[in-house]
Chain A
Amino acid sequence: MESGGTSPLRQLAEAADRNFPHLFEARARTEPGLEERRALLARLPHSAEASVVLMGSWGRGEVTAGSDDDFMVLVDGAEQHEFEPTIEGVSEVLKQRPSKDGPFAEPVFSENLVNDIGLDADSNRNLTRRLLFLLESTPISGDEDVYRAVRDKILSRYLDESVKPYRPPRFLLNDVVRYWRTICVDFAAKEWKGPEKWGIRNAKLRTSRKILFASGLLPLLECFRFDTDSMREFIERALTMPPTDRIAGAFLENDAADEGGRALGAYDEFLGRLHESEFRDRLEEVTRENSGDSAEFAKADEIGKELQGGLLALLYEASPDLAKVVRDYAIF
Chain B
Amino acid sequence: MVGTATRSDPRESIVERHHPVGASTGYMQNLRGDWTAQVEEAWRVSSFAIELSALSESELPSLAGYLRQTPSLPFRYTSIHGPSKGRQMGEEELVTSLAQFSRLADGVVMHPDTMDDLRLYRPLGHKLLLENMDARKPDGRTPEELQRAFAELPEAGFCFDIAHAWSIDPSMAVASELLDRFSSRLRHVHLSSLSEDLHHVSLSDEDEELFSPILRRCLDVPWIFEAPPAR
Contacts and interface: CB of A to CB of B under 8 A. Distances in A.
A24 B103 CA distance: 33
A265 interface: yes
B18 A317 contact: yes
Interface stretch (A3-11, A116-124, A242-250, A319-327): A319-327
Interface in B20-36: 20
Contacts of A274: none
Nearest to B12: A320
A258 B1 contact: no
Interface in A151-174: 166-167
Contact of B7 (A225, A305, A310, A324): A324
A17 B183 contact: yes
Interface in A264-311: 265, 299, 302, 305-306, 309-310
A167 B3 contact: yes
B220 A312 contact: yes
A324 B3 CA distance: 10
B3 A313 contact: no
Contacts of B7: 321, 324
B8 A321 contact: yes
Interface string B215-231: 00111110000000000
Interface size class on chain B is 20 to 34
B191 interface: no
Contact of A18 (B3, B184, B186): B184
B220 A309 contact: yes
Nearest to B8: A320
Q: Which of B20, B106, B126, B184 has the most CB of A within 10 A?
A: B184
B6 A325 contact: yes
A53 B1 CA distance: 37
B219 A318 contact: yes
Interface residues of A, number: 33
Interface of chain A, main secondary structure: helix
Contacts of B6: 224, 321-322, 324-325
A320 B17 CA distance: 10
Contacts of A262: 183-184, 186, 220-221
A26 interface: no
A317 B17 contact: yes
B113 to A, nearest CB: 26
A316 interface: yes
Interface string B197-223: 000000000000000000001111100
Given A17-B180, A17-B183, A261-B183, A325 B8 contact: no
Nearest to B2: A321
B22 to A, nearest CB: 13
A263 B220 contact: yes
A324 B8 contact: yes
A316 B18 CA distance: 9
Nearest to A302: B126
Contacts of B9: 320
Contacts of A299: 126
A324 to B, nearest CB: 5
Contacts of B89: none
Contacts of A305: 106
B73 interface: no
A250 B91 CA distance: 45
A259 interface: yes
B178 to A, nearest CB: 12
A16 interface: yes
A313 B183 contact: no
12 contacts: A17-B180, A166-B3, A227-B1, A259-B219, A262-B183, A262-B221, A309-B221, A310-B220, A312-B220, A317-B17, A320-B10, A321-B7
Given A258-B218, A320-B8, 6 more contacts: A166-B3, A259-B218, A259-B219, A299-B126, A321-B8, A322-B6
Interface of A: 16-18, 166-167, 224-225, 227, 256, 258-259, 261-263, 265, 299, 302, 305-306, 309-310, 312-313, 316-322, 324-325, 328
Leading 3 A-B pairs by shortest Cβ distance? A320-B8, A313-B219, A313-B220
